[in-house]
Amino acid sequence: MKQRSKINLTCQIRICTYFVFTCVFLSACDQVSKGNDSLPAMDTRAQEKAVGEIRKGIEAEPGNIKNYIVLGKFYLEQNKYLEAIDVMNESLVLEPKNADIYYLLAIAHWMLGEKTEVIPLINKSIYFYRAIGNEKFTEKARLLLKDVAEANPSPESLSRAKIVTPLKQEDNEVSLFWSKGIDFVKASSLVRDIFDGKIRRWPEEHIIDDKVETHWCTADNVGEWAYIKLNKDYKLLRLVFINGNGFWSDSSEQYYADARIKDIEIEIANGWKRNVRLQDMGDWQSFGLGGRKTDYVKITILSLYPAQKWSHYCLSEIKIFAEK
């Protein structure tokens, strides 16, 4: 009897979720067909109820990518950009080649005023839209990319991107990088080689230089680490990574030539540690730290995605966000 009740409850959740999702999704599709990319307007209570039902749907059918995408759109409409980023990053585990996910991630970061995060995400969405022959959305993403690159978003592109005005960094949030909040960084090792008669090196300073195109390379050994010393105690909100060689993030052949980080341990003050898994992509990935206080961040490599050519791995960037 209990088993039957459980089955009935599961069926009810699926039916309810399917109904909510279908109504919202079909309405959204109708709006898109009319040139309006935004989800239909809903009051706060209705949105919260719909989000709750979609969450139940994700629990009942964790492999259904559509629920993740609709939930991400809801969070964007509610100005909950960090939540949207988290949901979209979860969905990338299911479909790492889904162009819509990268596009929504780009929108969320753009709304947070994070231009450097937006560009590689839009490039990725263009790549995968082109791969499936979707010329309409390829052009749409290209137009947004042009405006973002020029740092002069037009009303037309903002409408296409489902946003009104790009938000700047929150007043209570600061981004820490080399010479601005970070004293130094040191690592267990780095790679040097000789090419065309010149010594090349990829030092750990590259992960905090606020440049996507540079990177830290070291031997492809588990246990390698990087230690970032802050100039004082900060309450950290999140760490954001670009895995692999960010210079080649839009080129699968070059990107996969180097090994990439799979699992890492994040360590901060007072012995707090958290293990996280990076996705195998050259785009921004965010992990929350809950405002914990620390004057350093240490990452230790636990496992790797294998290289297709070289015997080392790369990490392009770590952005540290803290409360002011």
Share of the chain above pLDDT 70, in %: 73
Query: Can you give the pTM of this predicted structure?
Result: 0.49
- E strands in 97-224: 173-178, 181-187, 192-195, 198-201, 216-219
Token digits for 197?
């008669």
Q: Residue 7: what pLDDT?
A: 38
Q: Are 280 and 305 in contact (CB under 8 A)?
A: yes
Q: Are 106 and 158 in contact (CB under 8 A)?
A: no
Q: Are 153 and 147 in contact (CB under 8 A)?
A: yes
Token digits for 309?
């050519």
Q: Are 237 and 288 in contact (CB under 8 A)?
A: yes
Q: Left, alpha or beta for 120 (phi > 0: left; psi -120 to 50: alpha)?
A: alpha
Instruction: Answer with the residue of higher pLDDT: 199 or 232.
Output: 232
214, amino acid identity: T
- Domain chopping of the chain, boundaries: 2-160, 173-323
pLDDT in tens, 73-121: 888 877 788 888 989 998 988 999 999 999 999 888 888 777 667 888 8
Instruction: Answer with the residue of higher pLDDT: 264 or 222.
Output: 264
Question: Nearest to residue 110, comparing CAs of 65, 34, 164?
Answer: 164
- In whole angstroms, give the CA distance from residue 61 to residue 184: 45
Distances in whole angstroms, Cα of residue 60 to Cα of each of 22, 54, 73, 91, 222: 16, 10, 20, 15, 36
Tell me what the mean pLDDT of segment 144-172 comes to.
50
- In whole angstroms, give the CA distance from residue 43 to residue 35: 22
Q: Residue 252: what pLDDT?
A: 59
Q: Residue 197: what pLDDT?
A: 63
Work out the mean pLDDT of the chain and round it to a whole number: 76
Query: What confidence category does residue 249 fall into, taking pLDDT thresholds of 50, 70 and 90?
Result: low
Intrachain domains 2-160 and 173-323 with the same fold: no
Tell me what the mean pLDDT of segment 125-144 comes to.
85
Res. 233: pLDDT tops 70: yes
Cβ contacts of 277 within 8 Å, gap of 6 or more: 262, 263
pLDDT in tens, 185-203: 999 988 876 555 666 677 8
Alpha helices in 61-114 (DSSP H): 65-77, 81-94, 99-111
pLDDT in tens, 256-280: 888 899 999 999 999 999 999 998 8
Tell me what the mean pLDDT of segment 230-236 comes to.
95
- In whole angstroms, give the CA distance from residue 210 to residue 208: 6
What would the CATH number be for the domain defined by 2-160?
1.25.40.10
Question: Nearest to residue 118, comparing CAs of 79, 85, 155, 96?
Answer: 85
Res. 216: pLDDT tops 60: yes
Tell me what the mean pLDDT of segment 22-39 comes to.
41
CATH of 173-323, one of 3.40.50.300, 2.60.120.260, 2.40.50.100, 3.90.79.10: 2.60.120.260
In the block, residue with structure tokens 């961040």? 297
Q: Residue 294: what pLDDT?
A: 97
